[in-house]
Structure 1
């Protein structure tokens, strides 16, 4: 979950769902969560940035890795604001 959802879940914008899709894609490709979790998961979300996907699996194509990493940016705000924008970025990696 992105920081925005932890900090203000009542007013989370649809872009948190885009972040979640990127996190699912990350997990499907690596078998790992985007963040390392030790202790309280909410503290981990607030204090830890996502780990670059190529640190988990160096065989992931660089263009795809860049889009996924960008989609998981949540500080100071989530990068992709619409599903269409994220979709186009993914299609551009092909």
Structure 2
């Protein structure tokens, strides 16, 4: 799914999981905590790429990227 792909990119680029899990029950953290914006973890990520990843990690009933194809296109747009 799109969220999982974005979380993998986030982890590869930052070395961290999207959510702060330190000292928390991981199941509660997933339900109660939002993802940390990727630029808060490292400033080395280009802003357009950071925005795409952050949008994909928003927990919201209205998912920003409706499909993997939409997410892929947004990622490709950051490098073209």
Deviation at 1:55, TM superposition (A): 0.4
1:84 has 2:69 as partner: yes
Question: What is the TM-score with the length of structure 2 in the denominator?
Answer: 0.92
Counterpart position of 1:4: none
Counterpart position of 1:36: 20
Taking only aligned residues, the RMSD between alpha carbons, in angstroms, comes to: 1.0
1:12-27 maps to which residues of 2 (within 5 A)? 17-27=1-11
Aligned length: 78
Runs of 4+ residues deviating >6 angstroms: none
Counterpart position of 1:70: 55
Alignment partners' CA distance in 2, 1:88 and 1:31: 24
Deviation at 1:31, TM superposition (A): 0.2
* Closer, same or farther: CA 41–77 of 1 in aligned 2, 3 Å: farther
Alignment partners' CA distance in 2, 1:65 and 1:47: 22
**The residue matched to 2:78 in structure 1 has which SS?**
coil
Question: What is the TM-score with the length of structure 1 in the denominator?
Answer: 0.79
